[in-house]
Structure formats: structure tokens, C-alpha cells
Amino acid sequence: MSALISDLKSDLSSPAVLIERLPDHVMLVTLNRPQARNAVNGDVASGLQAAIDQSEADADVWVVILTGTGHEAFSAGADLKALSNGQGAALRTERSGFAGFVHATRSKPWIAAVNGPALAGGCEIALACDLIVAVPQSRFGLPEVKRGLVASAGGLYRLPRALPQAVALEMILTGEPLSAERALQYGMVNRLAEPEHLLDEARALAARITVNAPIAVRESLGVARHALDCTDAELQALSTQAQTRVMASDDFKEGPRAFIEKRAPRWTGR
């Protein structure tokens, strides 16, 4: 019993969001409230905002992986205890919205490594990432209508972009979740991996990104994120602007040089 109490105290005293630098230009960000199914409170929101700021400011970070502690949940969404205590405003930041994340301005790819159910705001956090790797036991859902609420942190428009419209609308209107297997079949999830291999799979996907020129990756991602929101003419203008910025980089010269010299490119991100 004393060991259990000690472990609980350790969990409660740990940061709500862990930030770790991994090799090969990767940052790992972990939601760390397993005792609350990694639900979002003020500490999570401020911690995720700090993780975004840190990753954007660090030129050596090219990809970020976001996961949760434990196997009970990736995130259960908003912490209902915080809401009932009148702390709802703390669950968002002015710059980035709910969880300090869902409306953030981010230039670098984020991979959600979904270690368990991603429901309500947890699903919206996963949808705000660029790629998703998930365990087979996970599921995705927006159950807000079951509670007389609206999924207002991006889920109502990101889910129909990630899934066939009929499937997304059924989830939104019924509040019923989608299994990880079906999410993979529909293309919402990129990969499935057993829990013990989840981070390995996410890191392998990150490695397939970081082998490429980081500026070209960021600029390409910036255009692709607007693919469903802009006209072809607007997207062409964005593409031209992105190409102009890439051509001004040292890496633009390194790519052809490495090809001619028959060697792997040495990207600098400059």
C-alpha cells in the first residue's frame, strides 16, 4: 500500500507534459497525467504550448512525436474536474486554443503516437497532428453530443477531412467511436503498432521524414495543410512562394551536389 501511495505522489508531482530530445532531430512530447487518463487541465495546456514554442525555436528539431503516458488513454479530452471547479479557461491558451495545441501555428511535422483511446478533446488533439500512429486497442471519437456539448476544438471540421464524409458525420451525430483498425482502413491513421512497438514505429516514420531536407519538408507541409481550404490558384501562389524560400537555402544547393557526387545529402536546415 505504501508503495502505491508513493507511486501516486510521484505521478502527481511529475510535470503534466514531458519534453525530451531524441536522436536524429526528433523531439518527444508526452502527456503525463495517467491518473487522469491524460486529460487536459491548465498544466497540460501550458505544457503543450511550451513544447510547441520550444520545438519551433530549436532549429535542430525537425519532427515532433506526441504521445501519452500509460495504456489507458492517449487523452480523455478536457478534465471535467477542472471544468467543474471553474477552471475551464485554463484549458486553452490565447495563441493556440484548447490544450495549448489545436489551433497552434506550427511549421514542423507532428506525429501523434496514440497509445490508447483518443476521445473528445483527445481526438481533436490527434486530428491536429499531421500523421497518426496508433495501437490496435485505441479508438477515436467525439462523444460531445452525448453530453449536450459541441466538439469545438477542431473536430467537427477536421474529422470530415480525415474520413469519408458519411463516416465522419455518423461519428459526429451519434457520438460513437471508430476503431483504430477502421481508422487505418479509411486513411485517418497511417500505421498501427502494438503498444511495445508504438514509439519505435513513430520514430521510424519520423526517420523517413528527417532523411529529407528540413526546409523543403516544412515548406511542403505548409502548402499541403491548406489543400482543402484554398483554390488551385491560391495554392499555386503558396507553392511558388514556398519554392522561392527553399531556393534561398543552402540545402537547395546541397541536394543536387550530393546527387552528382553520389552520396547521401548532408542537410543543415539553413
Spatial neighbors of 142 by CB under 8 A, at least 6 apart, are: 119, 120, 123, 124, 151, 155, 156, 159, 171, 172, 175
Q: How confident is the model at residue 5 (pLDDT cuts 50, 70, 90)?
A: very low
Q: Going along 99-190, which residue ranges are E strands?
A: 110-114, 118-119, 131-134, 139-141, 178-179
State yes or no: is 170 an active-site residue.
no
For residue 11, pLDDT over 70 is answered with no
Q: What is the distance between the alpha carbons of residues 171 and 179, in angstroms, rounded to a whole number?
A: 11
- Residue-level pLDDT at 80: 83
Contact between 22 and 28 (Cβ < 8 Å): yes
- Residue-level pLDDT at 92: 93
With the C-alpha atoms ordered 176, 181, 183, 185, is the resulting torsion angle positive or negative?
negative
- Residue 81 burial by Cβ neighbours in a 10 Å radius (0-12, 13-18, 19+): exposed
Beta bridge partners of 29: 19, 66
- Residue-level pLDDT at 12: 56
- Residue-level pLDDT at 16: 97
Spatial neighbors of 181 by CB under 8 A, at least 6 apart, are: 136, 192
Q: What is the distance between the alpha carbons of residues 172 and 50, in angstroms, rounded to a whole number?
A: 31
For residue 2, pLDDT over 60 is answered with no
- Residue-level pLDDT at 94: 94
Give the mean pLDDT of 39-50: 96
- Residue-level pLDDT at 52: 98
- Residue-level pLDDT at 259: 87
What's this model's pTM, rounded to 2 decimal places? 0.92
2-210: CATH number? 3.90.226.10
Contact between 142 and 180 (Cβ < 8 Å): no
Give the mean pLDDT of 220-243: 95
Residue of 72, 124, 196, 219 marked active site: 124
Question: Domain map of the chain by residue range?
Answer: 2-210, 214-260
Q: How confident is the model at residue 7 (pLDDT cuts 50, 70, 90)?
A: very low
178 vs 84 pLDDT, higher one: 178
Residue of 56, 72, 144, 201 marked active site: 144
- Residue-level pLDDT at 128: 98
Q: Are β-strands 92-93 and 97-98 bridged in parallel, bridged antiparallel, or unpaired?
A: antiparallel
Q: How confident is the model at residue 85 (pLDDT cuts 50, 70, 90)?
A: confident
State what percent of residues in the chain have pLDDT above 70.
96
Q: What share of the chain is helix, strand, coil (3-state, %, to 5)?
A: 50, 15, 35
- Residue-level pLDDT at 35: 94
State yes or no: is 124 an active-site residue.
yes
CB atoms within 10 A of CB 196: 8
Computed over every residue of the chain, the mean pLDDT equals 93
